[in-house]
Amino acid sequence: MPSRPPVDALRGSLDLLVLKTLSLSPMHGWGISQRVQQISDGELEMNQGSLYPALQRLEKAGLIASDWGVSDNNRQARFYRLTAAGRRALGNELESWKRFAAALDAVLRTT
Amino acid sequence: MKWFDAARIRLPLLFAGRAAEARMNDEFRFHIEMETERLMRAKGLAPDEARRQALAAFGGVEKHKEALRDGRGLAWLRGWSLNVKLGVRMCARYPGVTMAGVLAMAIGIGLGAAYLEGINDFLHPALPLDEGERIVGLQNWDLEENDPELRSMHDFVGWRQELGSVQNLGTFRSIERNLGVADGSAEPAQGAEISPSAFRMVRVPALLGRTLIDADEQRGAPPVIVLGHQLWRNRFAGDPGVVGRAVQVGNSTSTVVGVMPEGFAFPVSHHFWVPPGSNAQAYEPRQGPPIRIFGRLAPGVSLEEAQAELSALGLRASRELPATHEHLRPRVMKYTDLFVGDEDNWQAYLVQLFFVLLLLVLGSNVATMVFARTATREHEIAMRFALGASRGQILAQFFAEALVLALAATVLGLAAVALGAQWFTRLLWDVTQGQIPFWLDDSLNVTTVLYALVLAVLVSLVAGVMPALKATSSRARARLRHSAGAGDSALRFGGLWSAVIVVQVVFTVLILPPAIVSISALGEADHTDPGFAAEQYLSARVDMDMGPEFQATCDELRRRLLMKPGASRVTFASRLPGMGHPEAWVDVDGDGSAPGAAGELVMATAVGVNYFDAFGAEIVAGRAFNSGDLRTDAGVVVANEYFVNEILQGRNAIGRRIRYTTRYAQQAATGQPQGLPRSVMRERGQWYQIVGVVKNIGMDTTRDAFTSGQGPGVYHPLTPEAAASGGSYSVRIAFHVRGDAAAFAPQLREIARDVDPGLRLYDVLRMDGPVDRVSRNQRRMGRFFSSITGLVALIALLISVAGTYSVMSFTVSRQTREIGIRIALGADRRRIIAGVFSRAMVQIAVGIVLGAVTWFYVIVHVLGGRDRVGLLVVTAIVLMLVGLAACGGPVRRALRIEPIEALRNVD
């Protein structure tokens, strides 16, 4: 990453991506990182490890919850899922993100 | 219990932290293994390479872990657990400082905690009864005498009818009665004449039978008694069929109706209960027996509201009965305040402040030691600064280290207090023969423990943070930067450290003499030589109810004793030789040849006519008492030789007169000098003529545990008035026994029972030991307290010596390099040694002089203690030796340094 976006923006978008990812199905950390990379077509590259502080933050905020379960290859893994609050937050976030993106788009177009 | 809840939440979190850590590791491992497998599958990489790339993609594992740990929000706690770990390690590394520090702090914390414990137990005790805090005492306060008026039966009757805010109002009066059992023997026991409402109020049911009921109080009701558990077990062998039995109570017979459960001793320390014998309605205002009044606050009523209602009644009484009640103000108070007084005890808190100051002094003592140690850790501090630690973090570490010391000290101190409290309670139980208030509790209060913890934090701040603040100040840090790498240390020990040493020495000088005195007091003999063959005498305290036949009873006792073979020289007195005698202030008038004296302190007691004869005390001038002196208005005394020698400077005493001064009258008003002739108290100002001088026979003062000894005294004739004490007569009987005096005790009891079953005998003892409970107890209590002060003084002494040693040896070892260089440059070794030692000796000498001046001023001048020059000399020598030892080691080390070694370290 030659030029990093501001931390807040990154953090905000990472949270959004995690929530979006988990809205499909519960998933463990590695799965989330794979899915994020898949969705963004490899555009959004990041340290996979930075995912975990984000997960911890979201869990503390009550937007996601976690349980230990068994993965596809029969291993103990921690699965994260969206909570009701998380679902609501995702809606709001998506909404504001879209508005933000549209505004940004409009600005970029006019200049 | 907030602290407990907090601890309950926090402690599992500490362990939860460990579990969280393990889960985090599992999760990361899972992630990296999954990624490794994916890379192997997708890119066909070898396992090693796949794992390397997976780790790279993950980013710094430790960094993420740290982020997660911070996210858990317990970072500060783990930081502290590390600090505590470091603290424990430090303590183990410097066992000397640790031991001295822990002991010093333990003394400070222990004393503070013990004092608070004592205050709470004695001044603010909690009644171990159902809603005990709502039980109150009522009394009439006499504004004129500044004392309670206890003869308040008249008021009690009115209050019981009218007070709505206090329920179950009742009275009690302590009584002593011989309690007879089946085998015919009778021994005195402490009981209470108490209103039956008391048992409703305390809400304690009887173990056997019933408690007192209102019907027992009615005129003409059959006499009944309720027994305490102890009495039931000891005197009635725990007989389950005791209810319904008739027992002899003093001169009458009562039926046992119940037994109370173990530990029940309401109102204070009473072992049997009978209904009040007198008809309460019959008393005029301020007449009748002295009583105590108790009750329970009505539900929802506060003490203030009860006081308001009572005050209104009091005002009405003072209007309606101005003759008796003008100066009386009724008060309602916490029940236990009836006995301990509810004055603002700001003095008590002042003493508490003293203990806090003592702790701070001890803490700063530890601080100097810690500081000396801190100085050797400059490189550690510099290193931590270099690694980015903030000053706060370093301070926190030092605080934690001191806290480890202080917590160890707290545990030690509290353990000592707990042990001491138990020891003290047992001693109190022993010496009072079970007469201790039932609310005394020998276990530690929660507040005491909390207070000790607060003290621990306080002393940690002084001992830990202060040195660290100094060591991490910006000046010290600037120097640290310069000296990093060199073998020098940057903390400077200039005038400040000389001052510290001097203060240490002053402290030691002040501590050493009291330490030696109190320790040597422990070894002293218990008893002074009474001046007669005490082992051949038997003595006892005889109490009897008030009545006209005092003299006749004494005469009959004497007559019956003399009929027994072996008994002779029977005499009576308020105090016997070897007992503590009350003291009083007297004026002595002058006569033609000699001036008078004012305000002399003398001992006084009342004795039987043949008292001097019975103990073989020779009359050296004038005459002994004769039966003609037994009139209250006789106004004659016999003085002892001390009186003549010390007060009259050996001049003729016969015909001189003494008079008790108003200073004594004040004492008498507070009831302090018990056992003094009551007639004297009443007729203060009356002149007494000295008719004889007798050789000194064991008139001891017992002003306190430390100043006992014989001194000037006067004897009054033993009249019934002089024997009166409280509501009864109390005298001592003593007589000579041929053969084994102690073996005569049963015969004495038997004779006493024959003469009057109401006579109560206590302390039937041979006279070569302490002959009464009071003086025996005073000695035992004195020993208890002097052993505590001795121990404390000894430890304080060790600490101040250790402090002096550590600071001195430290300042000298700072000069190691300087000494090495000077020797390398060819300086004379002897001159260097002389320089170091003379500096040390000057510091110690200044300290000793200052200490001695303080000692003489404070102890001798202000407190009136004795000067002990010998002890000062000993102290000086000890401290000089300490100084030599403290300088010797470091100087020897410095001299051994190779010059090249010393020079190498120069910047």
A70 phi and psi angles, rounded to 5 deg: -110, 130
Mutate to test the interface with B, among A48, A70, A73 (most CBs of B within 10 A): A48
Q: Which of the residue ranges B30-44, B106-120, B263-277, B298-312 would you say has the lowest mean pLDDT?
A: B106-120
State yes or no: pLDDT of B669 exceeds 70: no
Tell me how far CA of residue B326 lies from CA of B140, B318, B329, B332, in angstroms.
11, 5, 8, 18
Residue B838, pLDDT > 80, answer yes
Continuous H helices in B661-711? 662-669, 678-682
Which of B856, B685, B799 shows the shortest CA–CA distance to B409?
B799
Give 3-state DSSP helix, strand, coil % of chain A, rounded to 5: 60, 15, 25
Structure confidence at residue A43 (pLDDT): 62
Residue B323 has pLDDT above 70, yes or no: yes
Of residues A34, A48, A73, nearest to B58 (C-beta): A48
Lowest mean pLDDT among B78-92, B187-201, B620-634, B816-830: B78-92
Whether residue B213 has pLDDT greater than 70: yes
Contact B603, B680 (CB under 8 A): no
For A42-98, the pLDDT digits (tens) are 666 667 888 888 888 888 888 898 888 888 888 888 899 988 888 888 888 788 878
Q: Is the pLDDT of residue B225 over 90?
A: yes
Q: Which helix (H) or strand (E) holds B257?
A: strand B252-259
| Mean of the per-residue pLDDT values of chain A | 78
The pLDDT tens digits of the residues spanning B432-442 come to 666 778 887 77
What domains can be seen in chain A, in order of their start residue? 7-110 (1.10.10.10)
What distance in Å separates residue A88's CA from the closest CA in chain B? Answer: 24
pLDDT in tens, B570-612: 999 988 887 777 777 788 887 666 666 677 778 888 898 899 9
Specify the pTM: 0.57
Confidence of residue B388 (pLDDT cuts 50, 70, 90): low
Q: Rounded to a whole number, what is the distance in Å from the CA of A47 to chain B's nearest CA?
A: 5
Task: Decide which of B138 and B285 is more confident.
Answer: B138
Tell which of B30, B32, B51 to mutate to test the A interface (max A CBs under 10 Å). Answer: B30
Q: What is the ipTM of this complex?
A: 0.83
A47 inside 8 A of chain B by CB: yes
Q: Find, in chain B, the residue whose alpha carbon is nearest to that of A80.
A: B27
In this prediction, residue B182 carries a pLDDT of 56
Task: Collect all residues of chain B within an 8 Å Cβ-Cβ radius of residue A47.
Answer: 57-60, 64
Average pLDDT over chain B reads 77
Q: What per-residue confidence (pLDDT) applies to B705?
A: 37
Residue B488 — very low, low, confident or very high, per pLDDT cuts 50/70/90? very low
B30–A78 CB contact, under 8 Å: yes
Query: Taking the CB of residue B38, how many other CB atoms lie within 10 A of it?
Result: 15
Count of alpha carbons within 13 Å of B902, Cβ hemisphere only?
20
Distance CA A25, CA A80 (A): 9
Coil/strand/helix, residue B486:
coil
Residue from the list B31, B60, B61 with its beta carbon closest to the beta carbon of A30: B31
In percent, the amount of chain B with pLDDT more than 70 equals: 76
At B490 the pLDDT is 41
Residue B393 has a pLDDT of 76
Q: Is B31 an interface residue toward A (CB < 8 Å)? A: yes
Q: Break chain B into its structural domains and give their ranges.
A: 2-73, 86-123+346-489, 132-340, 493-524+777-907, 534-769
For the cut 80, the answer to whether the pLDDT of residue B817 exceeds it is no
What's the confidence (pLDDT) of residue B648? 84
Lookup result for tokens 């970029």 = A108
- Which chain B residues touch A78 with a CB distance below 8 Å? 23, 26-27, 30
Instruction: Flag whether pLDDT at B865 surpasses 60.
Output: no
